[in-house]
Amino acid sequence: MSRQLAWCLLMLRLGIASVFVMWTVDKFVNPKHAAAVFEKFYKIADLSTELSYGIGAIQSLLLICFIIGLFRTFSYGVILVLHAISTFSSYKNYLDPWTYPNLLFFAAIPMLAACVTLWWMRKYDLFSVDAARAGAKTS
């Protein structure tokens, strides 16, 4: 397998993780913002600080697995589903792109494509714990 492909998949994984890291940290640093996001986009009202911390803790564990490439089918798949939910829950912003800051929401679409690509190509993601455990060669 091509080392170039493995490097590309690692870069996709780290790029996707950079966004999820910020969303996770937000749940700890600014739980009121997290609550506002949950209410506006997911119709979940009154997210408590404690629940924000709990979601952040679970998301942190998932992110660790995702970043190191552990349980790739599960961790890459859950990240894909979470980002798809986030992307599709913002559909109203796509219908009115010229109202600020709606144009920024379009960045979610290529990231969703990156998540799908990474999940489909996960067996070629050789710079991962799963590949190392399977004895994958990176030459």
The per-residue pLDDT for 138 is 64
Residues 65, 75: Cα–Cα separation, whole Å? 6
Mean pLDDT of the chain: 95
Longest dimension (CA), the chain: 51
41-75: pLDDT as tens digits: 999 998 999 999 999 999 999 999 999 999 999 99
Indicate whether 137 pLDDT > 80: no
Query: Does 133 score more than 90 pLDDT?
Result: yes
Q: What is the pLDDT of residues 89-127, one digit of tens each?
A: 999 999 999 999 999 999 999 999 999 999 999 999 999
At 139, is the pLDDT very low, low, confident or very high (cuts 50, 70, 90)?
low
pLDDT interval class at 1 (50, 70, 90): low
The 3-state secondary structure of the chain, one letter per residue? CCHHHHHHHHHHHHHHHHHHHHHHHHHHHCHHHHHHHHHHHHCCCCCCHHHHHHHHHHHHHHHHHHHHCCCHHHHHHHHHHHHHHHHHHCHHHHHCCCCCCHHHHHHHHHHHHHHHHHHHCHHHCCCCHHHHHHCCCCC
The whole model's pTM is what? 0.92
Q: Average the pLDDT over 7-18 and give the result.
A: 98
The whole-number pLDDT of residue 125 equals: 96
